Amino acid sequence: MKTILLLLTLSLPANGGKPITVNYMEQQTPETLIEQVSRNQLQAVEKALQGGANVNTKDEKGHTLLLLAVHGRQYEMAKLLVTHGADVNMQDEILDSPFLFAGATGQNDMLELFLAHGARFDVFNRYGGSALIPACERGHVETVRLLANTKGFPVDHINRLGWTGLLEAIILGDGSSKYQEIVAILKAAGSDMHIADGRGVTPLQHAQQAGYTAIIKILEAN
């Protein structure tokens, strides 16, 4: 672990016998700070941030400290970083952000934290998708519920593949109970059941082609 010690003054008597204040600081390199976050060393990171370290420091792949904390599922670290002003929307080289990655991996505690600290709904991943769409694909039921019921969240956003979250749940899901629940959540949240993919195939038609009887019933129900 590399550090640079900066000795600014010494405590020596001055005129009138008054001492000069000792003033020193330990300045950490970005590499050290990144390592401390990766190892979930809360006290060390807090000390560095209090000493003026950049809370949005990035590694060689563009991962911010906060994104590294999300990768490691380190909620307390994420909370510490956000408290010190970490950007929840800052993206890495492949356009992942802390908020987007938390949605894709179903980390609802992180999502709630980021929603309370400036999460933006107009920042998209490399597929042009929102935090909701991969959650639908991967069957993260409670994540879908959280985002679909967040005021102003774009439940009908269409990614570069031409798919909404609803379409991904049907096309890339397996029709099991968790995907049935996701479809029901999206419908209850006001998602448009008729938005077709780039080829003009609707969610209902995809469900029919796949033989997902339960999902068909949800889509057809008034």
Say whether pLDDT at 11 is over 60: no
Helix (H) or strand (E) holding 7: strand 3-7
Answer yes or no: CATH 1.25.40.20 is held by domain 128-222.
Answer: yes
Question: Does pTM surpass 0.85?
Answer: yes
Q: Model confidence over 158-206: pLDDT tens digits?
A: 999 999 999 999 999 999 999 999 999 999 999 999 999 999 999 999 9
Q: Model confidence over 58-110: pLDDT tens digits?
A: 999 999 999 999 999 999 999 999 999 999 999 999 999 999 999 999 999 99
Predicted pLDDT at 192: 97
Domain boundaries, the chain: 128-222
Q: Which residues contact 70 (CB under 8 A, 6 or more apart)?
A: 78, 98, 101, 102, 105, 107, 110
- Specify the residue for token string 């809360």: 42
Alpha helices by DSSP H, listed for the chain, are 30-38, 42-50, 65-71, 75-83, 98-104, 108-115, 132-138, 141-148, 165-171, 177-188, 203-210, 213-220
